């Protein structure tokens, strides 16, 4: 497996892989030639022939950067990486490139798109739908029947109450309590969460 990105987020992905029986880290790649090492692994700076048949995980915490890299790279992606301490219902659909950190919980009938991050201790309840490139930060709680659009981030310790629909490329601030639907690109904070501004996203 190739880890793309030698960041702090990548270190946590290494820990996920170490906790699993089915995968091992073969290569770590980073665009920055100054970055030489990640938790004991040598960092390389370009894809080579020996890597072409290896599955890759995008170890980039920023949702927009992860999105841009995924649209550019030709490599095939690994199936979801799930830390052995996470509690995952058998009845979920979690797609390629997504990562689930230690002590996360994902309950029944939930669908998680591609390249999502379910961070340490996050709870994603039943019947939730997360589109691609979503990040649920540490200790956040997404309750039942919530829908979260592409590229949105739920901040550390935030809570989203049942049935709420959150648009795409939204940022929910750390500790916010979301009690109503949130439009695309909004940045919300507080209890109850209110819009303070809109993200500028240049994906299209
Ligand atoms: C493993 C890991 O580390 S995963 C990383 C998880 N990361 C997070 O959870 C971070 C979530 N991000 C935040 O909460 C950020 O503060 C954001 C995105 C909401 C806002 O960040 P910025 O765009 O830099 O806004 P800025 O810091 O300028 O704050 C704007 C205003 O919102 C307030 N504000 C910012 N964040 C919050 C918050 N979480 N709750 C309440 N108020 C907040 C600020 O006090 C400021 O108020 P003022 O205008 O009255 O002075």
CA 176 to ligand 1 centroid distance, Å: 10
Ligand 1 centroid to Cα of residue 173, in Å, is 5
| pLDDT of 204 strictly over 80 | no
Does residue 126 carry a catalytic annotation?
Answer: yes
Q: For 149-168, what is each residue's pLDDT tens digit?
A: 999 999 999 999 999 999 99
pLDDT at 201 over 90: no
Beta carbons of 121 and 140 less than 8 angstroms apart: no
Mean pLDDT, range 93-115, rounded to an integer = 98
The string of DSSP codes covering 29-72 is E-S-TT--EETTEEEESS--GGGTTS-EEE---SHHHHHHHHHH
Per-residue buried b or exposed e for 39-53, using 16+ beta carbons within 10 Å of the residue's own CB: eebebbeebeeeeee
Residue 186 sits at the vertex; the CA angle it makes with 185 and 187, to the nearest 5 degrees, is: 120
Please state whether the predicted TM-score (pTM) of the whole model is above 0.95: yes
The CATH class for the domain spanning 81-192 reads mainly beta
Is residue 192 pLDDT above 90, yes or no? yes
CA distance 156 to 171: 11
pLDDT over threshold 90, residue 182: yes
Nearest CA to ligand 1 atom 30: 196
The residue whose two tokens read 């030639």 is 33
**26-70 pLDDT, tens digit each:** 999 999 999 999 999 999 999 888 888 899 999 999 999 999 999
User: Looking at domain 2-72, which CATH architecture does it have?
Assistant: 3-Layer(aba) Sandwich (3.40)
State in Å: Cα 178 to ligand 1 middle. Answer: 15
DSSP string, 118-179: E-TT-EE-TT-EE-TT-EE-TT-EE-TT-EE-TT-EEPTT-EE-TT-EE-TT-EEPTT-EE-
- Which pLDDT tens digit goes with each residue over 61-86? 999 999 999 999 888 999 999 999 99
Residue range 109-129: mean pLDDT, rounded: 98
Of residues 9, 45, 126, 135, which has the active-site annotation? Answer: 126
Q: What pLDDT is recorded for position 52? A: 84
- Decide if pLDDT at 181 tops 90: yes
Domain ranges of the chain: 2-72, 81-192
Q: What is the pLDDT of residue 193?
A: 98
């Amino acid at each position: 497996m190739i880890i793309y990105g030698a960041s702090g987020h990548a270190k946590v992905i290494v820990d996920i892989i170490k906790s699993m029986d089915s995968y091992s880290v073969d290569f770590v790649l980073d665009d920055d030639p100054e970055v030489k090492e990640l938790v004991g692994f040598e960092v390389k700076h370009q894809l080579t022939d020996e890597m072409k048949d290896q599955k890759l995980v995008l170890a980039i915490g920023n949702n927009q950067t992860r999105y841009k890299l995924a649209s550019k790279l030709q490599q095939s992606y690994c199936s979801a990486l799930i830390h052995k301490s996470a509690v995952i219902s058998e009845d979920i659909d979690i797609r390629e490139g997504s990562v689930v950190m230690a002590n996360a919980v994902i309950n029944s009938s939930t669908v998680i798109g591609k390249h999502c991050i379910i961070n340490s201790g996050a709870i994603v309840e039943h019947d939730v739908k997360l589109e691609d490139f979503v990040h649920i930060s540490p200790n956040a709680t997404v309750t039942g029947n919530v829908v979260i659009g592409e590229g949105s981030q739920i901040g550390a310790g935030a809570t989203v109450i049942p049935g709420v629909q959150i648009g795409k490329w939204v940022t929910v601030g750390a500790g916010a309590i979301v009690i109503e639907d949130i439009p695309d690109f909004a940045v919300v904070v507080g209890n109850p969460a209110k819009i303070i501004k809109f993200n500028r996203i240049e994906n299209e």
